[in-house]
Amino acid sequence: MIMMKQIALYGKGGIGKSTTSANLSAALALQGFDVLQIGCDPKRDSTRMLMHGSFIPTVMDLVRERGDAKITLDEIVYTGFHGVRCVEAGGPEPGVGCAGRGIIATFQMLEKFGALSGDVIVYDVLGDVVCGGFAMPMREGYAQEIYLVTSGELMSLYAANNICKAIKRLSQRSKSTCRLAGVICNSKNMPREEELVTEFARLVNSTLVQYIPRDRMIQVAEIHKKTVVEYAPDSPQAAQYQALAACVMTNTHLTVPTPIDIDALESLALEFMQV
């Protein structure tokens, strides 16, 4: 019997979390797992490639339109590529309210319907601001395994390090079971980038679980409104996501991170950027 895994991908905005999450979910589904992906970003684009380009209605939009009492399960959960169940939390109207509230409302509604189920739940979470709402997957025990998506760029590592601080703080609470499961390098093709991110992962008491090279195939697949795993399943890039999926399902190396201070982070980046 497979015990349900609840994983969350956190990282700086624009680092490629949604692309990584969608391809990871697609790869997991092809490996025979029942997958639920929940987009926890107001941009609501986490599941778009799994839905062949469609922006599905968000929970927050539906709540604003009709109130949560009148919403049904099939209005918020959509079936995408190879059976991946897709949900988008959404957020408030621009300039009004807290975006994290959409995550809270979404989880409460999915719990009410008993829909937080399957072999794997993938939470795709904005990581620039780890406020109470965005930290909810970690804080309330939904996401038990946290993966940091980063590149070798300083601000990407800075965001990843901040998320380590949140995990460490939350790990000290009795209710929280979240741990750092690893670092994913979504490459920007920088010199010595894999070495840099590997060393960063070591310093924060974790490991680099997957290095994903920058590849034009990602853009080509997205133009065709598909994940790489669906559009080019035999490509080297799809193989990277398949390897990541296999790692996620077998990974038991969960740690409390040891975030580093900003001076050490800048020194690390400088060391690997020198030629």
The answer to whether 41 is a known catalytic residue is: no
DSSP string, 167-179: HHHHHTSTT---E
Catalytic hit among 34, 119, 128, 188: 128
The answer to whether 12 is a known catalytic residue is: yes
The answer to whether 17 is a known catalytic residue is: yes
Can you tell me the distance from the alpha carbon of 102 to that of 105, in angstroms, rounded to the nearest whole number? Answer: 5
Name 81's Cβ contacts closer than 8 Å, sequence gap at least 6.
Answer: 26, 29, 50, 51, 52, 226, 227, 229, 230
What size, in residues, is the chain? 275
The answer to whether 43 is a known catalytic residue is: yes
Catalytic hit among 5, 12, 41, 124: 12
Name 54's Cβ contacts closer than 8 Å, sequence gap at least 6.
Answer: 48
Taking CA atoms, 183 is separated from 112, 146, 201, 244, in Å, by 33, 9, 6, 11
Catalytic hit among 43, 165, 168, 188: 43
Catalytic residue set: 12, 17, 43, 128
